[in-house]
């Protein structure tokens, strides 16, 4: 298994590709503003360069913005501490600053990376199975909408399912969002929630992803506490947070069209 240092390095490299900066920029004490541009290797659902994006690994923030939005970025970063850049009322101020450019904040999420010291397969009385695309091809249904993505089926690499007397009751899926990192999404049937099944399938899938030489990562909305608890119980730890603005006319569009997928 990769070490925590190696896992973080891979994540920083990926973030640097997407934010048009150097990996070390995320570890600086001061904030960084980078000009957005076309860059190969972005996560699959990032179909175009950022107009205005903020990413933080905790110590500072990196703004990746259009050239005409640099002054907005510098002004916003100078006004608020990193701890408050990603929360209201600061975000309301940012929306006012972005309005003349036809932009509005839209996507906001927290990302988790595995801690190699604590990632392990969690025991369960339920049968689990590792599923390849040939086996989960018929599972693109509403109840598995977090584990699998119908819009990007070619990116779904691997699943782990939990079964009760042969019935699939929980599913975790890994999407090859980029070359080095696979994102984990998980679903549990309503009547089976609260039995530890999310932890069962997530923890085993994380190990299977590691076994294939990739870094598993996990995304959750701040308010989705069950999902956050699942990540923590499986040995994942908060790694970075991200906020992206979009054109106002697209702020009501489905997340899958651009930017972050719906957090689990």
Given a contact cutoff of 8 angstroms between Cβ atoms, the answer to whether 171 and 164 are in contact is no
CB burial readout 36-67, b (16+ within 10 A) else e: beeeeebbbbbeebbbbbbbbbeebbbbbbbe
Q: In this predicted model, what pLDDT tens digit does every residue of 4-29 receive, in sequence order?
A: 999 999 999 999 999 999 999 999 99
| 128 vs 34: CA distance, rounded Å | 45
Q: Which helix (H) or strand (E) holds 20?
A: none
Taking all residues of the chain, what is their mean pLDDT, rounded to a whole number? 94
Residues counted in the chain: 264
Query: What pLDDT shows up at residue 252?
Result: 66
Residue 257 has pLDDT above 80, yes or no: no
Helices (H), the chain: 4-19, 70-79, 90-98, 133-136, 197-211, 225-233
Residues sharing a CB contact under 8 Å with residue 163, sequence separation 6 or more, in sequence order: 126, 127, 128, 129, 169
Q: Give the helix, strand, coil percentages of the chain, each rounded to 5.
A: 35, 30, 35
Q: In this predicted model, what pLDDT tens digit does every residue of 152-164 receive, in sequence order?
A: 999 999 999 999 9
Given a contact cutoff of 8 angstroms between Cβ atoms, the answer to whether 238 and 110 are in contact is yes
Q: Among the listed ranges 170-174, 220-224, 240-244, which one has the minimum average pLDDT value?
A: 220-224
Query: What pLDDT shows up at residue 259?
Result: 44
Q: In this predicted model, what pLDDT tens digit does every residue of 233-252 receive, in sequence order?
A: 999 999 999 999 999 987 76
C-alpha 12: how far from chain center: 13
Residue 256 has pLDDT above 50, yes or no: no
Q: In this predicted model, what pLDDT tens digit does every residue of 78-94 receive, in sequence order?
A: 999 999 999 999 999 99
Centre a 10 Å sphere on the Cβ of residue 190 and count the other Cβ atoms it contains. 8
Collapsing DSSP to helix, strand or coil, 89 comes out as coil
Query: What pLDDT shows up at residue 1?
Result: 80
Query: What pLDDT shows up at residue 263?
Result: 42
Query: What pLDDT shows up at residue 47?
Result: 80
| 214 vs 202: CA distance, rounded Å | 15
- Find the mean pLDDT for residues 175-186: 97
Given a contact cutoff of 8 angstroms between Cβ atoms, the answer to whether 111 and 101 are in contact is no
């Amino acid at each position: 298994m990769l070490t925590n240092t190696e896992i973080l390095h891979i994540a920083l490299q990926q973030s640097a590709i997407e934010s048009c900066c150097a990996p070390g920029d995320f570890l600086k004490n001061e904030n960084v503003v980078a000009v957005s541009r076309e860059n190969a290797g972005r996560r699959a659902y990032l179909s175009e360069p950022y107009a205005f994006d903020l990413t933080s690994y905790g110590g500072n923030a990196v703004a990746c913005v259009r050239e005409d939005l640099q002054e907005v970025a510098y002004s916003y970063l100078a006004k608020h501490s990193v701890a408050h850049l990603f929360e209201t009322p600061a975000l309301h101020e940012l929306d006012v600053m972005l309005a003349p450019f036809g932009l509005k904040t839209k996507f906001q999420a927290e990302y988790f990376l595995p801690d190699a010291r604590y990632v392990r397969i969690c025991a369960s009385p339920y049968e689990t199975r590792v599923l390849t695309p040939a086996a989960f091809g018929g599972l693109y249904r509403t109840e598995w909408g977090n584990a699998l993505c119908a819009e990007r089926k070619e990116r779904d690499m691997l699943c782990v399912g939990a079964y009760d007397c042969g019935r699939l009751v929980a599913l975790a899926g890994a999407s090859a969002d980029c070359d080095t990192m696979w994102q984990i999404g998980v679903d549990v049937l309503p009547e089976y929630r609260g039995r530890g099944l999310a932890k069962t399938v997530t923890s085993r899938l994380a190990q299977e992803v590691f076994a294939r030489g990739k870094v598993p990562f996990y995304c959750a909305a701040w308010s989705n506490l069950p999902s956050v608890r699942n990540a923590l119980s499986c040995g994942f730890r908060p790694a970075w947070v991200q906020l992206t603005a979009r054109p106002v006319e697209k702020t009501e569009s489905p997340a899958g069209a651009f930017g972050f997928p719906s957090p689990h």
